[in-house]
Structure 1
Amino acid sequence: MKYLGVLALSLVVASCSPNNPNDTEQSVQAAAVTGDFNTSHMANMGFKVESATPSEIAGLYQVLTDQGLVYASADGQFIVSGRIFDITGEAPVNVSDEILNAMRISDLANYADTVIEFKADNEQHVIHVFTDSTCGYCRQLHERMDGYLDKGITVRYLAWPRSGMQGRAAMELQSVWCAEDPKAALTAVKNDQALPPANCENPVAEHLALGHKFGVRGTPAIVLESGRMLPGYLPPEPLLAKIENDQ
């Protein structure tokens, strides 16, 4: 899939390469949920449109895709990458982040059966963490697991191999998710212990795609209960403060 690089708030003309049958099928399917919005130009660019609804700005649609949130002209010929702020109140409100947060909450619910969960006995909060077995900061987070659990923070892991599906991390994470005891297996690989090769259906590729949609650019990436995403590692105490301030 081709990822479209666009500068914030810059206008881009969608390419007009010929449709292939899959693009046409995706466009027809998307039309059923997006009304009159023309998805064909975005399909040609490699986007899979999930929904398109009018935004707060007249003539501009907010479009949720498999690559995240973009804005588009009503005819689907121009797209804008950036954030919309409502400045009518005492402080600016990031309307785009509210949309993204709601999208993350909804999507994570669909992956509830595929996470590796470390559950706090006195659960007060739940976070989702995109992790990579070869990431040093991910290992630091995992080493402090007891600290998160003691503070009532349940940790649900999703796989996000930074080097893609052909790298070492992807192979390791597939083995983790296929293991008889995934929690023990994840701890093992984060301590450089080898696991048998994976031989089962696993969600690693789906988690990787989900992370791209969410805007993950590195690991660990922490998604709070509100849907807000925090990039990078935070020890238990600062993370708890972030969570409580987010409510």
Structure 2
Amino acid sequence: MKQLLVVASVIGLLACSPQGVAQNDSSSFKRQHLERMGFVIESVNDSVIDGVYEVITDQGLVYVTADGETLIGGRLYDITGSEPQNLSEASIREMRRSDIAKVSDEAILYPAENEKYMITVFTDPTCGYCRQLHTNLEQYHKLGISVRYLAWPRSGLQGSAYQQLKTVWCSEDQQAALDAAKNDKRLPAASCDDPVDEHFALGNKFGVRGTPAIVLPSGEMLPGLVPAERLLSMMQNGQ
């Protein structure tokens, strides 16, 4: 309810603001309050509201007043048309695309022979829907959809899924290890400087709340299992 009230407040502000991008001076933005709260600031850009900045942090997108003293959660919507338009989504998608590119060499890739699209999937070997997606990889591959996996243990940085994922990413044959983990087969011991914690933090930043979470080439994120045909249709339509 609190988040809805915040979003409603933001919509009200936007409805009263002039159209176009406000010109703020981000060099004067005061960071200390956000940093004191534990946010790591990655970028500060103008928002459509005069005196409010769009701030990308390690915890996702937030809006902050120019004096750095007021944080606004939620999303901005343009409500001038027949349907509300989510103005925050473009920035969020760009953030996801950029961040995924940085960790693409850490993903476990299952490529399609005639690749047309690449999706990124946050996965957990103990998740039934993740197993179902993995079992049906051939359906995605036939449609030219390559799948690359990042780790996201649903129980957090503890428990069996977390340990399995660490072992998978440290295995000499990562594909074989992930296949085994998703079929309840015992994994040979393996340890290394794995990226599981990093992937988990990235998923949290993106807004992952469960697995599988599918990130499309556009940066849009879909929660849950999505059949191959529907997924292809969405990407063909530019989502």
Instruction: Decide: shared fold, TM above 0.5.
Output: yes
Q: Return the match for 1:151 from 125, 143, 151.
A: 143
Deviation at 1:8, TM superposition (A): 3.8
1:157-206 CA deviation, whole Å, 9 max, x = no partner? 00000111112111000111111110111010000011133311111110
Once superposed, what is the RMSD of the aligned Cα atoms?
Answer: 1.7
In 2, are the aligned partners of 1:9 and 1:80 still within 8 Å (CA)? no
Structure 2: unaligned runs, 5 residues or longer = 8-25
Q: 1:70 to 1:129 in 2, by over 3 A?
A: same
1:130 alignment partner, SS class: strand
1:10 alignment partner, SS class: helix
1:175 aligns with 167
1:66 aligns with 58
2:10 aligns with none
Segments of 4+ moved more than 6 angstroms:
none
Deviation at 1:246, TM superposition (A): 2.9
1:29 aligns with none
> Which TM-score applies when normalising by structure 1?
0.85
2:155 alignment partner, SS class: coil
Deviation at 1:10, TM superposition (A): 2.4
Distance 1:178 1:81 in 2: 37
Alignment of 1:1-247 (within 5 A): 7-10=3-6, 35-89=27-81, 91-247=83-239
Matching residue's letter, 1:236: A
Matching residue's letter, 1:223: V
Structure 1: unaligned runs, 5 residues or longer = 12-33
2:23 aligns with none
Distance 2:182 2:2 in 1: 35
Q: Give the number of equivalent residue pairs.
A: 221
Matching residue's letter, 1:198: A
